[in-house]
Structure 1
Amino acid sequence: MKTPHDHAKAPEGETRHRIMRALLKHAPVTAAEMAEHLGMSAAGVRRHLDILHEEGLIEAVRRNPPRGVTRRRGRPARSFRLTDRGREGFGHDYDTLTTLALEALREVGGEEAVRDLARRRIEEILAEIPAADEDDPESVEETVRAVARAFDENGYAATVTAAGGGVQICQHHCPVSHVAEKFPELCAAEHEAIARRAGLHVQPLASIAHGNDVCTTNIPLSTINTPEERRGS
């Protein structure tokens, strides 16, 4: 079975690895969108996508147009995303060993021991990020972006998007998703750590561990009262 790392060793494999890594963050996308993102020709991207599709590393999906946008006539362009097999090369190594270790830890120390380990793990990832000024939306957003960068550097393919009156951290890959299916303490620890640094209650909206394509955590900046609003209350 080939993995993204096997592709990187083969001729032109580095390009396919770039395409697969981009799919982690931006899927589902069309060949044309991928070409623009990578600065390649659409024909060149399609050739690599065809190879990845044949090897079962990506799949074609139907993408609905944004709300309020009418679908154009004619056959819609195919969009692509990674399959479970395609994701495996980005961080699911040692899942079985980790699960066994956590099960043993739970037997010896109980649920609190698992929660403590989950908190220690995520605090190690976010150790360099101080808490935001919870009364300043700009400070909170800056901290959220720093959190996303830390996640991204640790294999989560994380991005930040604006959403309504707040921002959302989107993790397009989760290195521990298979383990988190059995140990939700891992996800809970992430949300707790984000909330502590933002100084706000955060809202988990979706999770790869629960079958979604992306982990989404919403941080509602609209709940922050500015000093002027507090003085007027």
Structure 2
Amino acid sequence: MPLRLVFASLMLAVSLSATPAAALPEQQDADYLARYEVGHAIAAEAQAMDSVAEQVEQGFRIGIEQAKTVDPNLSQIESEFPGLLDAFADDGAAIMVDSAKRRLPSLWSDLANLYARELSLDQIRAMASFYGSPVGRKLIKLSAEGVDLEAHASQVLTEGVVSAEAQMSMTAQGEQAALRAMTKEEQAEVAVFMQQHGATVMRVSPEAMAITNQWINAPLPPRDQAAMGEALQRHLAARQTGASGK
């Protein structure tokens, strides 16, 4: 079983970084910690644990389906052992979700440090107030749902990573889809926020996107790669045993 090829085919855009949470800088001004804490709350709201876990699972399963036709090695495996990849997908998705829940705080911390470094406390509080509001939360939820996970998985399968340009485009598409799904009153509330604080958001957006893109494209940590390999070998052995017993 060519596990290296299997992993290359299945490492989706939802793969998570193994780097530890970023530490607070040694040199801080008086209210850095306050800015960091509010910024951390924004990051945790925008990248909520349950939402990310759901995207991880969906993205992984989409990648499995695409890999069956895109990767000749997996196509051959599926032909020889029908149902193997579907059975493996359950274990693989569970491993990916567990990895997400363990490593997501590192992204929250990196983004919080960015906000604390670049923005004032008032600016961060204004962002937190909006994104923590019913309309802000709805915008976040619908934007996540509007991301084209199939496009994410397809680019990983063909290029090995999700480019910053593609991520930016897919994020914008998700936001546009979210706005279309909102009421006129909700759209107006979003517009008011962007008129008042859009410059603040745009000031940190490029670096926030770069931080997120680096996190997205990081390889699956060794601990989880090992678990993935064990699960795949377990399902393969079960199919081989079943085939030999016929």
Q: Which structure exhibits the higher relative contact order, with contacts defined as CA atoms closer than 8 Å and separated by 6 or more residues?
A: 2
* Bigger share in strand: 1
Q: Does the TM-score normalized on the shorter chain lie above 0.5? A: no
Instruction: Using structure 1 for the length normalisation, give the TM-score.
Output: 0.26
